[in-house]
Amino acid sequence: MAPPGRPRRENTVQTKLFIGGEFVEGVDGATIDVYDPHDGSLLAEVAEARATDVDRAVEAATKAFETWRHWSAEQRGRLLLKLADSIEEHAEELALLETRDTGHPIRDTRTLDVPRTAATFRYFGGMADKFQGSVIPVERGFLDYVVREPVGVVGQIVPWNFPLMFTSWKMGPALAAGNTVVLKPSELTPLSTLRVAELMAEVGFPPGVVNVVTGYGATAGTRIVQHPGIGKVSFTGSTAVGQGVARGAADTLKRVHLELGGKGANIVYGDADLDAAVQGSAFAIFHNQGQACIAGSRLILHESVADEFLDRFTALAGSVRLGDPKEPTTQMGPLTSAMHRDRVLTYLDAARNEGDEILTGGRAPDGAEFAAGYYLEPTVIEADPAHRVAREEVFGPVVAVHRFRTDEEALQIANAVEYGLGGGLWTRDLSRAHKVARELRSGMVWVNSYKRVNPGSPFGGVGRSGYGREMGFEAMHEYTEAKAVWINVDAELPRLYGEG
Ligand code: NAD
């Protein structure tokens, strides 16, 4: 069923801003072209939100907050649970929409993105009435209790690599905690978020509780960061933009949560199960064409297994089925934009210029089916850890390989970058697994697997990967303020002033 006032025909996509419970044009009617990365065709023209549109959205969210915050936690949770069900009912449609907009293979959007989106909304639906305050054991005669109150209107800015999933990561905890939301998807991939907004209207989220403004970072994004009516900004994106967000939020002293870039270390020790390590390492870097902040983009191999591992890994990389992401057999689709593919290619040029050895891949694939899309072959490069391709976030299907002799050397290479988001290791030695997990400078560590995420497990980084955490109880803390209430039950207060 279409939301009120907005008939929805089959095979069309929502292209308008979602403000105050309605789908509306932008203030000056400007639009953003959205392309299919498989063939460069125009998918949609989406309304472009300007600063004034963000202001309208904040106004709607501010008004909605006054009622939403008084809803019982159970009522808020129930709506999120309904939304999770609705996402599952529209699973195939959402998977296809995400695939067309991002280039992410349909086998993954069906089995990972959509189920994870539903699971995250469901988790936070359940969380809403489980998240509670505390009583502090203070001095005798007083009751000191702490309540967790919503921040108010929160601004959320997300990137283009997992737009559907990130809608749930951002909105789930914020709404469960009683905040209202103004979310800006990436200008490159706004379609699935707009569809979720339609589903939210259908399941009964009150007008203004959620607002989606599709606009550019420099205009709509900047306004979210600077708007005095927004109490917190949660940003996922590149480190450079994130730094600007933190600076921009300082004027209004907004709370800031930053989920930024990564350069994940993936260490394979001599005693690892090589079959599992080869498979897991391929998923770590080739899933979503390597466009993942937690991608395992640095393979650190013990010298005793490096040659055998690389023989198998490069053969596997060469066999990855590239193609139309809408085909169920496709294992890797195109990168999400032409500009981004070109950026990744500059890293391959840098690797060549610095003398690194490209073991496989390294270019756009041949063939008519790839000609108009933004494809790139899975690429494995044996690189000096000091070189650019090994230090900077490439954000493509490109893995830099290094060799090590001692455990100390492996850790030294792993911790040598400025990022600290996700990292992993493959070993059968339990003691080593715990020790390395302790020593890796990163927010998440996977042992004998890679890139596991769950709505209950804290997600976030250290260093140039940002601060704050998505998911679990940590996320609820991100979206609430602690208020301590002191009650004098039967304490006798000393008379400190006056007579006697
Ligand atoms: P980006 O930083 O260019 O853009 C992210 C979002 O910020 C977009 O919505 C964009 O429009 C907006 N934006 C751009 N300039 C802005 C500004 N001046 N003010 C406010 N908003 C602005 O990143 P991207 O290219 O879309 O995404 C890729 C990056 O995101 C990579 O670095 C990746 O590692 C990172 N990322 C991090 C995580 C994480 O959880 N740590 C997850 C996914 C992606």
Ligand 1 center from residue 241 Cα (angstroms): 7
- Which residue has a Cα nearest atom 36 of ligand 1? 237
Pocket test for ligand 1, best of 186, 191, 194, 241 (most atoms within 8 A of CB): 241
Cβ–ligand 1 distance for 421 under 6 Å, the answer yes
Question: What's the burial of 357, exposed, middle or buried (CB within 10 Å: 0-12/13-18/19+)?
Answer: exposed
What is the average per-residue pLDDT within 248-277? 98
Residues 6+ apart with CB under 8 A from 270: 302, 304, 305
pLDDT for residue 270:
98
Confidence of residue 318 (pLDDT cuts 50, 70, 90): very high
- Cα(427) to centroid of ligand 1, in Å? 34
Of these residues, 259, 377, 470, 478, which one is catalytic?
259
Residue 117 in this model has a pLDDT that exceeds 80: yes
Structural domains of the chain ordered from first start: 17-260+465-484 (3.40.605.10), 265-447 (3.40.309.10)
CA distance 462 to 449: 21
Residue 293 appears among annotated catalytic residues: yes
pLDDT attached to residue 430: 98
For residue 51, pLDDT beyond 70: yes
Mean per-residue pLDDT for 120-136? 98
Token match 């927010």: residue? Answer: 443
DSSP H/E element including 398:
strand 398-404
- DSSP 8-class letter at 336: S
List C-alpha distances in Å: 150 to 103, 298, 389, 479. 36, 39, 42, 6
The Å distance, Cα 279 to ligand 1 centre, comes to 29
- C-alpha span between 427 and 411 (Å, rounded): 14
- Which among 98, 293, 382, 478 is annotated as catalytic? 293
Kindly give the pairing relationship between strand 255-259 and strand 466-467.
antiparallel
- What does the pLDDT look like over 457-482, one tens digit per residue? 999 999 999 999 999 999 999 999 99
Which of 156, 165, 223, 238, when mutated, tests ligand 1's pocket best, judged by the most ligand atoms within 8 Å of its CB? 238
- pLDDT band at 9, cuts 50/70/90? very low
What residue's CA is closest to ligand 1, atom 32?
238
**In the chain, pLDDT over 90 holds for what percent of residues?**
97
Residue 418 above 60 pLDDT? yes
Would residue 187 show up in a list of annotated catalytic residues for this protein?
no
In ligand 1, which atom is closest to the CA atom of 244?
Answer: 18
Q: Is residue 225 lining ligand 1, measured as CB closer than 6 Å?
A: yes
Cα 258 to ligand 1 centre (Å): 10
Q: What pLDDT, on a 0 to 100 scale, did the predictor assign at position 500?
A: 60
Residue 80 CA to ligand 1 centre (angstroms)? 26
In this prediction, residue 449 carries a pLDDT of 98
Q: What ligand 1 atom has the least distance to the C-alpha of 224?
A: 20
The mean pLDDT of 132-137, rounded to a whole number, is 98
Residue 8 has pLDDT above 50, yes or no: no
Mutate to test the pocket of ligand 1, among 236, 256, 395, 467 (most ligand atoms within 8 A of CB): 236
Q: Whose CA is nearest to atom 40 of ligand 1?
A: 259
Which pTM value belongs to this model?
0.95
pLDDT value at 240 more than 60: yes
Please state, for a pLDDT cut of 70, what percent of the chain lies above it.
Answer: 98
Pick 499 or 40 by higher pLDDT.
Answer: 40
Beta-strand relationship, 422-426 and 265-268: parallel
Q: Is the pLDDT of residue 2 over 70?
A: no
DSSP assignment of 232-295, as one string?
EEEEES-HHHHHHHHHHHHTTT-EEEEE-----EEEE-TTS-HHHHHHHHHHHHHGGGG--TT-
3-class secondary structure, 79? helix
Q: How big is the chain by its Cα radius of gyration, in Å? A: 24
In a 3-state reduction of DSSP, which class is residue 127?
Answer: helix
Q: What long-range pairs does 342-350 form, CB within 8 A, spacing at least 24?
A: 343/395, 344/376, 344/394, 344/395, 344/396, 344/398, 345/376, 347/388, 347/389, 347/392, 347/394, 347/396, 347/398, 348/379, 348/381, 348/389, 348/398, 350/387, 350/388, 350/389
Residue 5 — pLDDT band, cuts 50, 70, 90?
Answer: very low
C-beta 98 within 6 A of ligand 1: no
**How many angstroms does the Cα of residue 236 sit away from the middle of ligand 1?**
5
Pocket probe for ligand 1: among 34, 161, 256, 418, the residue whose CB has the most ligand atoms within 8 Å is 161
CB 195 within 8 A of CB 97: yes
In angstroms, the Cα distances linking 460 to 36, 180, 261, 457 are 30, 22, 10, 10
What does the block give as tokens for 10? Answer: 């089959």
402: three-class secondary structure by DSSP: strand
CA of 259 to the centre of ligand 1 (A): 9
Q: Is 184 near ligand 1, meaning CB less than 6 Å away?
A: yes
Tell me the per-residue pLDDT of 361-380, one tens digit each, with 9 for 90 and over.
999 999 999 999 999 999 99
Contact 197, 208 (CB under 8 A): no
Cα gap 156→213, rounded to integer Å: 10
- Average pLDDT over every residue of 301-309: 98
Residue 3 pLDDT exceeds 70: no
DSSP assignment of 23-50 equals EE--TT--EEEEE-TTT--EEEEEEPP-
Separation of 162 CA from ligand 1 center, angstroms?
11
What is the pLDDT of the chain when averaged over all its residues? 96
pLDDT tens digits, one per residue of 154-198: 999 999 999 999 999 999 999 999 999 999 999 999 999 999 999
